[in-house]
Amino acid sequence: KQEVTQIPAALSVPEGENLVLNCSFTDSAIYNLQWFRQDPGKGLTSLLLIQSSQREQTSGRLNASLDKSSGRSTLYIAASQPGDSATYLCAATPGTYKYIFGTGTRLKVLA
């Protein structure tokens, strides 16, 4: 059974820092891995999707990598800003169309 873990559960950094959020999954047989952002009381916003044949995806200050053999994905945020404060969720597709979600990392960027 696929399990997805995100560490740390919470992170607080000063503005301007580069940071890395981690996502681990137990079964390497995934179709893709998706990173989401969730603001308090809001829905999920898709940030990046990495297909199983890809190693990384980039969008602006965000870069997500995928290493299926080690069961890991990382989300790199460059030059963090207070507006980046949110909960970041990763989700893996274990071979069907449904996703298994991690419990998220709550990020706070201090001005």
Partner 1 sequence: DAEITQSPRHKITETGRQVTLACHQTWNHNNMFWYRQDLGHGLRLIHYSYGVHDTNKGEVSDGYSVSRSNTEDLPLTLESAASSQTSVYFCASSELPESSSYEQYFGPGTRLTVT
Contacting residues toward partner 1, per CB under 8 A: 31-32, 34, 36, 42-46, 49, 51, 89, 91, 93, 97-99, 101-104
From residue 37, give the alpha-carbon distance in Å to each of 26, 45, 84: 22, 5, 9
Closest distance to partner 1 from the beta carbon of 31 (Å): 6
Are 9 and 106 in contact by the 8 Å Cβ rule? The answer is: yes
71 or 104: whose CB is closer to partner 1? 104
80 or 89: whose CB is closer to partner 1? 89
- Cα separation, 2 vs 22, whole angstroms: 16
76 or 101: whose CB is closer to partner 1? 101
State both tokens at 48.
């990046």
